[in-house]
Amino acid sequence: MSMKEQIISFIKKNRVSTTEVADALGKKGVLPNVLPVIDDVHEVGRIHCVFTANESNYQVHDEINKVNENDIVIVFTHNCGERAILGDLVSKYALLYRGAKALVVNGKVRDIASIKRSKFKVWCNGTSPIGCFNEIADEFPKDKRAVIEKRFHGAIAVCDDGGVVVIENDNINETMLTKLHRIEMQEDIWFFCLDSLKWDTKKIVCDNAYLTETNLLSTVHLEQLAELDKLLDGDDSNVE
């Protein structure tokens, strides 16, 4: 199993949230202002980039045909103003017929009532009934597209109620997987300290009192702390 597959599998199996992934990335990685259309959703997968520009969605209709099953499609836009990039037709085609896991639009969508009724897993910047034109226009700037594709195409997207966080290609490595394991174990310990020991959040998060008052922790948590020590060996970064 490749490192990318290992990271995707771990996030999916443990339903790691966008918050936790962003923490593992050093509080980075979010796609700004992108939120889900429906609630209680969680998807993770490899990214397939689609581009469109200049108030036209012609490129979307053309490039969506290259989407593979289980991809998370991210539509990047340029100079599309307040126009909706796509609606229920493209959503259904991408998610049902192409088999994409999720559809993320860095712009607005329309047919929002239909998308909600169908429970399509769509993330976007907002909604508008006014769509783009389905005519050929000047394409997405090539230099900008090249930069985006290098960072995002084939990378990993995590999508949930909090938004969308991307693990870029440069961060798909063993260190990233280690940090995700660390975050999950740390969260378990933090909530034990909060719910069972009734500690305040300063004592938990800022003072890290669980590192010294270990007699109050369970055997499982002591094992997690020992594992955290192994994971943190040689890693001085602060991702909390």
DSSP string, 7-72: HHHHHHHHT--HHHHHHHTTS--BPTT-EESSSS-EEEEEEEEEEEETTB-HHHHHHGGGPPTT-E
Q: CB atoms < 10 A from the CB of 7, how many?
A: 24
**Rounded (10°) CA dihedral 147, 149, 151, 156:** 160
Collapsed DSSP state (helix, strand, coil) of residue 101: coil
What is the predicted pLDDT for the residue at 48? 98
Q: What is the pLDDT of residues 45-61, one digit of tens each?
A: 999 999 999 999 999 99
Q: What is the pLDDT of residues 24-36, one digit of tens each?
A: 999 999 999 999 9
Amino acid identity, residue 162? G
Q: What is the pLDDT of residues 98-135, one digit of tens each?
A: 999 999 999 999 999 999 999 999 999 999 999 999 99
DSSP string, 104-118: EESSEE--HHHHHHT
Residue 231 pLDDT class (50, 70, 90 cuts): low
* pLDDT at position 236 over 50: no
- Whether the model pTM is above 0.85: yes
Average pLDDT, the chain: 93
Mean pLDDT of all residues in 147-162: 98
Residue 171 has what DSSP assignment?
Answer: G
Structure tokens at 10: 């771990």
Residue 132 has what DSSP assignment?
Answer: P
70 dihedral zone (left: phi>0; alpha: psi -120 to 50; beta): left
Q: For residues 40 and 52, what is the distance between their CA atoms, to the nearest angstrom?
A: 29
Domains and CATH numbers, the chain: 3-169 (3.50.30.40), 174-232 (no CATH)
* pLDDT at position 232 over 60: no
